[in-house]
Structure 1
Amino acid sequence: MSTSNPDHIKGLLITALGVLFIVPDSLMVRLIDTDGATVAFWKSLVVGLVTGLAILIWQGPRAFRTTFGAGWPVWIYAICAGASGALFVIAVAHTSIANVVFIIAAMPLVSALFSRIALGERLSRRTAITMAVVPVGIGLIAFGSGETEGASLTGDLIALGVVCVFSLGLTAARSVRPVSVVPAIPAGMLLWALILLPFADPMSVPPGDWIWVALHGGFFIAMSTALLAIGPRFLPSAEVALLMLIESVLAPILAWVVVDEDPGLYALVGGAIVIVTLGISNLVALVQGRRVAVRPAMRP
Structure 2
Amino acid sequence: MTHGEQAQYRLGLALVAFCALAWSSSGFFIRLIGTDLMTMLFWRGLFTGTAVMLLFVAIERGAAFPILKTMRLPSLMVMIFSASGMITGLGAMRYTTVADAMVIYATVPFVTAGIAFLVIGEKPGRSTLMASGVALLGVVIMLADTRGDSGTLTGKVLAIGMTLSMACLATTMRRHRGIPLLPAMGASAWLCSAVTFWFARPMGITAVDLGLTALFGVFQNALGLVLYTFGSRRIPAAEATLIAALEVPLAPFWVWAVFGETPGRATLIGGLVVLTALFGHIASEVRRTRTVLPTVI
What CA deviation, in whole Å up to 9, does each residue of 1:123-155 have, x standing for no partner?
110101111110111112222232515x11111
Which moves more between the two structures, 60-69 or 186-195? 60-69
**The structure with more radius of gyration:** 2
Change (3 A) 1:147 1:86: closer
Instruction: Report the Cα distance in structure 1 between the residues aligned to 2:290 and 2:281, rounded to whole angstroms.
Output: 11
**Conserved? CA contact 2:139–2:274, under 8 Å:** yes
Counterpart code for 1:50 = A
**Conserved? CA contact 2:149–2:263, under 8 Å:** yes
Trace 1:79-118 onto structure 2 (pairs within 5 A): 79-118=80-119
What is the aligned partner in structure 1 of residue 197 from structure 2?
197
What is the aligned partner in structure 2 of residue 41 from structure 1?
42
- How far 1:66 sits from its partner (Å)? 2.5
Counterpart check, 1:224 vs 2:206: no
What is the aligned partner in structure 1 of residue 270 from structure 2?
270
Counterpart check, 1:181 vs 2:181: yes
Instruction: Report the Cα distance in structure 1 between the residues aligned to 2:236 and 2:46, rounded to whole angstroms.
Output: 32
What is the aligned partner in structure 1 of residue 123 from structure 2?
122
- How far 1:2 sits from its partner (Å)? 10
Trace 1:241-260 onto structure 2 (pairs within 5 A): 241-260=241-260
- How far 1:259 sits from its partner (Å)? 1.1
Instruction: Report the Cα distance in structure 2 between the residues aligned to 1:68 and 1:114, rounded to whole angstroms.
Output: 29
- How far 1:27 sits from its partner (Å)? 1.3
Which moves more between the two structures, 272-281 or 176-185? 176-185
- How far 1:15 sits from its partner (Å)? 0.6
- How far 1:190 sits from its partner (Å)? 0.7
Counterpart code for 1:90 = G
**Conserved? CA contact 2:74–2:179, under 8 Å:** no
SS at match of 1:182: helix
Judging by fraction of residues, say which structure has more helix.
Answer: 2
- How far 1:290 sits from its partner (Å)? 7.0
Instruction: Report the Cα distance in structure 2 between the residues aligned to 1:18 and 1:97, rounded to whole angstroms.
Output: 18
Change (3 A) 1:67 1:179: farther
SS at match of 2:245: helix
Instruction: Report the Cα distance in structure 1 between the residues aligned to 2:176 and 2:33, rounded to whole angstroms.
Output: 37
What is the aligned partner in structure 1 of residue 14 from structure 2?
13
SS at match of 1:154: helix
Count of aligned pairs? 291
Give the CA RMSD over aligned residues.
2.2
What is the aligned partner in structure 2 of residue 23 from structure 1?
24
Counterpart check, 1:206 vs 2:206: yes
Which moves more between the two structures, 74-83 or 238-247? 238-247
Which moves more between the two structures, 210-219 or 120-129? 210-219
Q: Using CA pairs below 8 Å that are at least 6 residues apart, which structure has the higher relative contact order?
A: 2
What CA deviation, in whole Å up to 9, does each residue of 1:253-282 have, x standing for no partner?
110111111111111111111111111111
> Which of structure 1's runs of 4+ aligned residues deviate more than 6 A?
1-4
**Conserved? CA contact 2:52–2:182, under 8 Å:** no
- How far 1:214 sits from its partner (Å)? 1.6
Instruction: Report the Cα distance in structure 1 between the residues aligned to 2:221 and 2:62, rounded to whole angstroms.
Output: 22
Change (3 A) 1:131 1:67: farther
What is the aligned partner in structure 2 of residue 156 from structure 1?
156
Instruction: Report the Cα distance in structure 2 between the residues aligned to 1:105 and 1:258, rounded to whole angstroms.
Output: 22
Q: Where does structure 1 lack aligned partners over 5 or more consecutive residues?
A: 292-300
Percent identity over paired residues: 27
Change (3 A) 1:63 1:131: farther
What is the aligned partner in structure 2 of residue 286 from structure 1?
286
Change (3 A) 1:214 1:274: same
Instruction: Report the Cα distance in structure 1 between the residues aligned to 2:167 and 2:98, rounded to whole angstroms.
Output: 20
What CA deviation, in whole Å up to 9, does each residue of 1:158-213 have, x standing for no partner?
11101111211221112221443221111111122011101111233333323311
Change (3 A) 1:89 1:181: same
Counterpart check, 1:58 vs 2:59: yes
